[in-house]
A and B are shown apart, each in its own frame.
Chain A
Amino acid sequence: DIQMTQSPSTLSASVGDRVTITCRASQSISTWLAWYQQKPGKAPNLLIYKASSLESGVPSRFSGSGSGTEFTLTISSLQPDDFATYYCQQYNSYPYTFGQGTKLEIK
């Protein structure tokens, strides 16, 4: 199985900050990577697919980059609605696997 490792596990930031979350794959996954946002008690919501393609309706302050084994999710200017947990997911090969999550907290 491909292991996905996110860092940091927890991130404290303020409204207006620029934040970056990193996701590393245990082997190359090309650009077959998605990012999700999850709020407490809710299902995850797709933000980005194919490493950098922004899902329709997702604010442009979210962006993704990377290829191979290292990927980043960047939020250019944090808004109050962005405090949540973020997951990466690889779909290069079965079984699809997720990172352990990064909880974005208000500083």
Chain B
Amino acid sequence: QVQLQESGPGLVKPSQTLSLTCTVSGGSMTIGGQYWTWIRQHPGEGLEWIGNIYYSGSTDYNPSLKSRVTISVDTSKNQFSLKLSSVTAADTAVYYCARVGFTPTARGWFDPWGQGTLVTVSS
């Protein structure tokens, strides 16, 4: 079964770029035309969708973050990545990667999820 694992620095300085990678194991990212996603959760708060990427590289982003977000995919490594530029303390959160669930007629739920990684923005 598919498993996901986030990796990247746990501490980023303000104004710098947050970079995370999600490694997919247990199956190819390209099978079945799957979409992949990043979601974050501020400490003690709810969940915020960041954006999706298709295995071909097409993306959809949350407008609230669109100007600062880039999601990319490397199918040769079975990985996809998140870059968030010009970070501030407000970007401190647990960042999750996940697969976007789908059926022949719909997609949009998230399953499975990675375990999450806490990124703290601080000097």
A residues bordering B, Cβ < 8 Å?
1, 32, 34, 36, 42-46, 49-50, 55, 87, 89, 91-92, 94-101
Residues in chain A near residue B108, CB distance under 8 A: 32, 34, 91-92, 96
For the complex, give the distance between the alpha carbons of A43 and B114 in Å.
7
In the bound complex, do residue A49 and residue B46 qualify as a contact, i.e. CB atoms below 8 Å apart? no
In the bound complex, do residue A44 and residue B113 qualify as a contact, i.e. CB atoms below 8 Å apart? yes
B: interface residue count bin: 20 to 34
- From the candidates B48, B63, B64, B109, name the one contacting A49 in the complex (CB within 8 A): B109
For the complex, give the distance between the alpha carbons of A98 and B96 in Å.
14
Residues in chain B near residue A95, CB distance under 8 A: 49, 62-64
Number of A-B residue pairs with CB-CB distance less than 8 Å in the complex they form: 57
In the bound complex, do residue B109 and residue A89 qualify as a contact, i.e. CB atoms below 8 Å apart? yes
In the bound complex, do residue A34 and residue B110 qualify as a contact, i.e. CB atoms below 8 Å apart? yes
In the bound complex, do residue B110 and residue A46 qualify as a contact, i.e. CB atoms below 8 Å apart? yes
For the complex, give the distance between the alpha carbons of A81 and B116 in Å.
21
A13 vs chain B, min Cβ distance (A) = 21
Cβ proximity bits B78-111 to A, threshold 8 Å, 1 near / 0 not? 0000000000000000001010010100111111
In the bound complex, do residue A49 and residue B47 qualify as a contact, i.e. CB atoms below 8 Å apart? no
Cβ of B115 under 8 Å from chain A: yes
**Taking A87-B47, A96-B49, A98-B49 as contacts, is the C-beta distance between A43 and B111 under 8 angstroms?**
no
Residues in chain B near residue A46, CB distance under 8 A: 101, 109-112
Q: Give 5 pairs: A residue, B residue, CB < 8 Å, sorted on A.
A: A44-B96, A46-B111, A50-B103, A94-B62, A96-B108
In the bound complex, do residue A98 and residue B111 qualify as a contact, i.e. CB atoms below 8 Å apart? no
In the bound complex, do residue B62 and residue A43 qualify as a contact, i.e. CB atoms below 8 Å apart? no
In the bound complex, do residue A91 and residue B115 qualify as a contact, i.e. CB atoms below 8 Å apart? no
Residues in chain B near residue A50, CB distance under 8 A: 103, 106
Residues in chain B near residue A91, CB distance under 8 A: 106-109
Residues in chain B near residue A32, CB distance under 8 A: 106, 108
In the bound complex, do residue B64 and residue A43 qualify as a contact, i.e. CB atoms below 8 Å apart? no
Cβ of B74 under 8 Å from chain A: no
